[in-house]
Amino acid sequence: MALKAIGNGVGGACHMTPRACLHPKSSLSLRMVERKESEKEMGPSPSSSNPQDQFKGLRSGDLEKNARALTRDCNALPKPLSSMDCLTSSDGSAIRVAYQGSPGSFSEDAALKAYPHCVRVPCEHFEVALKAVELWHVDRAVLPIENTSVGSIHRNYDLLLSHRLHIIGEVQIKVDLCLLALPGAKKEDIQRVFSHLQAFQQCEKSISDLKAIRINFEDTASAAQLIAERGMRDAGAIASARAGELYGLKILQNKLHDEDANITRFLVLSREPILPKTYGPFKTSIVFTLEEGAGMLFKALAVFALRNINILKIESRPLRTSPLRLVDDLNHGTAMYFEYLFYVDFEASMAETRAQNALGHLQEFSKFLRVLGCYPVDTLL
- In whole angstroms, what is the distance from residue 30 CA to residue 80 CA? 24
Catalytic residue list contains 88: no
Q: Among 173, 355, 347, which Cα is nearest to 265's?
A: 173
Respond yes or no: is residue 368 known to be catalytic.
no
Tell me how many degrees the CA angle 128-132-137 measures, rounded to the nearest 5. Answer: 145
- Catalytic residue, chosen from 106, 194, 217, 264, is 264
The angle, 0 to 180 degrees and rounded to 10, between the axes of the packed helices 60-76 and 25-42 is 170
Q: Are 115 and 91 in contact (CB under 8 A)?
A: yes
Q: How far apart are CA 308 and CA 120, in angstroms?
A: 40
From residue 78, alpha-carbon distances to 13, 68, 192, 326 in Å are 18, 18, 61, 43
**Is residue 259 classed exposed, middle or buried when 0-12, 13-18 and 19+ CB atoms within 10 A define those classes?**
middle
Q: Out of 194, 266, 282, 342, which one is annotated catalytic?
A: 266
* Burial of 69 from C-beta contacts in 10 A (0-12 / 13-18 / 19+): middle
- The span from the CA of 214 to the CA of 196, in Å, is 10
Q: Which positions are annotated as active-site residues?
A: 264, 266
